[in-house]
Amino acid sequence: MRKIVKENYQEMCSDICQEIIMTIKTKPDALICIAGGTTPLGVMEQLVLELKSKQIDYSNVKFISLDEWVGISKETPGSCLETLDTNLFSKLHLKDEQVIFFDGKAKDLNNECLKMNKELAMFGPIDIIILGIGMNGHIGFNEPGVDVNLDAHIVDLDDTTKQVMGKYFKEQIQLEKGISLGFRQIKAARKIIVMANGEHKKTIVNKVLTSTPDVKIPATILKDVDNCTLIIDKQANGE
Ligand code: F6R
């Protein structure tokens, strides 16, 4: 894992946006994965502007889901799909077949995992994946203690994740489980970018940087991965 510190959030997002654009230019049918949550919102904003203003052909690109809260889907503001759809997919007017997403409301969640594994076997590996870091170091919903050999799987949310979750939803909502791509699939991506910004991420970023790879802090699992870059702003750097 390489570490890059940028002056501010805008610069981080701009660099990451350029990486995605480069991936699409090199491989017009690229498979792209972007986390939900707050961190990648600036990347999505810049990506929409760049793809449109530079008239880049993204008609064959596919976006694949990283994770979703179990029990909710696109109709719930703050779900992963709603976040991606509002900020990226709908703005790009993507065709249905360009979006492969977990259905957090699926009756058969195991089947949902199998479906995702099949999609990845067919279209993968992911060409570029943009990840955030949870306050407990989680990646996607790969929570502390995760089995790193898993593919898509259902997760019991960690207590920290349950505490933090309130920031995403307008209404009070208590969710217990998530569904997530596994580390095997994340690590297989051709390019991995982990991003973190802001003072509140400084402690966990520091823990990731100073710890040896251990599932107790899932993001550390990516430290051994050559094609992984951690991009942070000055506020998230050092401690
Ligand atoms: C969301 C996801 C999570 C977030 C992480 C950071 O789809 O996969 O792992 O990336 O919890 O969340 P934010 O960006 O809201 O700080």
pLDDT in tens, 157-198: 999 999 999 999 998 899 999 999 999 999 999 999 999 999
- Among protein residues, the one with the nearest Cα to ligand 1's atom 10 is 132
Ligand 1 mutation target, pool 139, 160, 180, 204, most atoms within 8 A of CB: 139
Burial of 19 (0-12, 13-18, 19+ CB in 10 A): middle
Ligand 1 mutation target, pool 67, 83, 133, most atoms within 8 A of CB: 133
Residue among 34, 111, 119, 109 at smallest CA distance from 70: 109
- In this prediction, residues 108-127 reach a mean pLDDT of 97
Tell me, using a 6 A CB cutoff, whether residue 79 lines ligand 1: no
- In this prediction, residues 83-87 reach a mean pLDDT of 98
pLDDT band (50, 70, 90) for residue 238: confident
Q: What is the pLDDT of residues 199-218, one digit of tens each?
A: 999 999 999 999 999 999 99
pLDDT band (50, 70, 90) for residue 239: low
Instruction: Give the 3-state secondary structure of residue 100.
Output: strand
